[in-house]
Amino acid sequence: MQKIIPHLWFDKEAKEATALYVSLFENSKVKNVTTITDTPSGDSDIVSFKLSGLDFMAISAGPYFKLNPSISLFVVFDNEAEIDMVWNKLVEGAKVLMPYKSYPWAHKYGWLQDKYGLSWQLSWSEYHKLEQKITPLLMFTKNVAGKAKEAIETYVSIFPDSKSEMLVPYAKDEGDKEGFIKHARFKLNGLNFMAMDSSLQHDFSFNEAISFVVDCDTQKEIDYYWEKLSAVKEAEQCGWLKDKYGVSWQIVPSIMNEMMASGDKEKIARVTQAFLKMKKFDIAKLKEAYNGK
């Protein structure tokens, strides 16, 4: 079972955006939509979905966090027809960050922010043959530029079934600071990630618009990940935390997914009101709320 789940924050467009995304890739579908009520954002839609077999989540919860290119979805393709189709669908209303064309490292490659703000890097290349079609890519900018290697080592030390697989630094006069990471690949709990550093002038950095949900079976697991990852006390809320590099995580009990997907509006409302008061989730109290105790 996938332990770490990328989570996307939208203002109002979660259902609309996910419907587009699942239409683009095989082995993709919307799994569940739950609406929670009486939150600080009003009514919020929570969408669970799959893209190319990978689990994702999305929420419509107001204009508080804006998607930006600090975290992209890097997608690899086997043929020109497929990458052309996906690019042509995503580019409608998008902001192109790197033109869609041939490069020394790819037959075709392009980077864009789609009309909802989500950043995509699409590649058709023999250099990008990956077992996972869609891979989150973290770009370390501003005050954490140069921290990619350290962050990877930190994450790998925290999660089981994890390892650093590739670290390619910039050489002298290669476009960024010598020794900064040009391209990295690593696994966290079996999920593939990429990373890079950029000391260039960017107007973006990591924020809560993309976070990573860590599914936990026990309170002991929740306590462990909370202690290892949380580094910004003021960011702790409703199971959310921020690590020392600015990346947001949600440490969530797996049983909560069952509660929120139950379809019982009264039980969902009770659980919602319970977790809104929490920072780190307490499984026992969530169960009490669900059961009306």
Question: pLDDT value at position 103?
Answer: 96
Counting the structural domains of the chain, the total is 2
**Is there a single domain that holds both residue 47 and residue 80?**
no
What is the structure's pLDDT at 210? 98
> Using one digit for the tens of pLDDT, what is the confidence trace for 92-148?
999 999 999 999 989 999 999 999 999 999 999 987 777 899 999 999 999 999 999
In a domain, 225, yes or no: yes
Residue 265 in any domain: the answer is: yes
Which residue range(s) make up the domain with 79? 71-197
Tokens, residue 186: 């690593």
Q: Are 120 and 182 members of one domain?
A: yes
pLDDT at 23: 98
Q: Are residues 138 and 225 in the same domain?
A: no
For the cut 80, the answer to whether the pLDDT of residue 207 exceeds it is yes
Q: Are both 58 and 81 inside the same structural domain?
A: no
179 backbone dihedrals φ, ψ, rounded to 5°: 95, -20
Query: Mean of the pLDDT values across residues 8-17?
Result: 98
pLDDT of 195: 98
In a domain, 244, yes or no: yes
Read off the pLDDT of each residue in 72-89 and give the average, rounded to a whole number.
Answer: 97
Does residue 202 belong to any structural domain of this protein? no
pLDDT digit string, tens, across residues 208-254: 999 999 999 999 999 999 999 999 999 999 999 999 999 999 999 99
Query: Which of 197, 226, 245 lies at the terminal end of a domain, its last residue?
Result: 197
Using pLDDT thresholds of 50, 70 and 90, give the confidence band for residue 162.
very high
Give residue 262's pLDDT.
81
The pLDDT confidence band at residue 168, using thresholds 50, 70 and 90, is very high
Q: Kindly report the CATH number assigned to the domain that includes residue 250.
A: 3.10.180.10
- pLDDT for the residue 127: 73
- 249-276 confidence digits (pLDDT tens): 999 999 998 888 887 889 989 999 999 9
Neighbours of 156 (CB within 10 A): 16
Confidence of residue 91 (pLDDT cuts 50, 70, 90): very high
pLDDT of residue 148: 98
CATH number at residue 128: 3.30.720.110
77 and 164 in a single domain? The answer is yes
